[in-house]
Amino acid sequence: MKPYVDVWCCQPFGIPRDELVADMAKRGVEYWCYPNHIAGENDHTTVSGARMSYGFGFWRSGFRALTPWIYQAIIGDQWNYLDGSAMDFFNRTDDDGAPIPVTMWEAYREGIDDSRYVTTLQRTIARARAAGKTELADGAQADLDLVWDAVRVQEKYKVDDLWDPDAYDVYRWLIASRIIELQSALGD
């Protein structure tokens, strides 16, 4: 099917980044990730693993998109997500139908926000370089490279070799402080 399909959706980050990026450049295709290991295997995926899959781990993967499995899963009492064989995840709804976020949902949201910070810094570095702020751009890029190198690339971010929860805040603050520094130098 490779010659006929231009979007490949894999589960999960099973193709090494270099191979994936080379194939996308050569054939003009895209690779998307379907991280079922988070929503469908909740008996052993931590909140940190979910955040890494949607944020820094996704950034390192080379995949172009995430296609999450979004649905409602309630086992037992929706107000106690620890009362069943697996915890509840994704959306729960109030009596009026309004969504009530659960812990995993917040992890996805935080991961997506991590990606937004990375993207903002990458774009701001490019703007700083274009404006001749090379030294500041190089410093910001060095910090971004530090974060890049800190991610232990995995096919599935579940339990092992994940960051301590505080590390997410440290790395996000490092990125945010560089964004602020560059934006200030650019007069934003």
Q: Taking 90 as the threshold, does the pLDDT of residue 80 lie above it?
A: no
pLDDT tens per residue, range 34-62: 887 776 565 566 789 989 999 999 999 99
Query: Which pLDDT value is given to residue 128?
Result: 99
Query: Which pLDDT value is given to residue 40?
Result: 59
Percent over 90 (pLDDT), the chain: 56
Is the pTM higher than 0.95? The answer reads: no
Of the pLDDT bands very low, low, confident and very high (cuts 50, 70, 90), residue 90 is low
pLDDT tens per residue, range 95-108: 887 877 777 778 88
DSSP per position, 77-138: -TT-TTSSSS--EE-EE-TTS-EE--HHHHHHHHHHHHHHHHHHHHHHHHHHHHTT-HHHHH
Relative to beta strand 92-93, strand 65-66 is: unpaired
Of the pLDDT bands very low, low, confident and very high (cuts 50, 70, 90), residue 125 is very high
pLDDT tens per residue, range 135-185: 999 999 999 999 999 999 999 998 888 999 999 999 999 999 999 999 999
Query: Which pLDDT value is given to residue 64?
Result: 94
Please give, one letter per residue, the 3-state secondary structure of 18-56. Answer: HHHHHHHHHHCCEEEECCHHHHCCCCCCCHHHHHHHHCH
Sorted by where each begins, the domain ranges of the chain are: 1-188
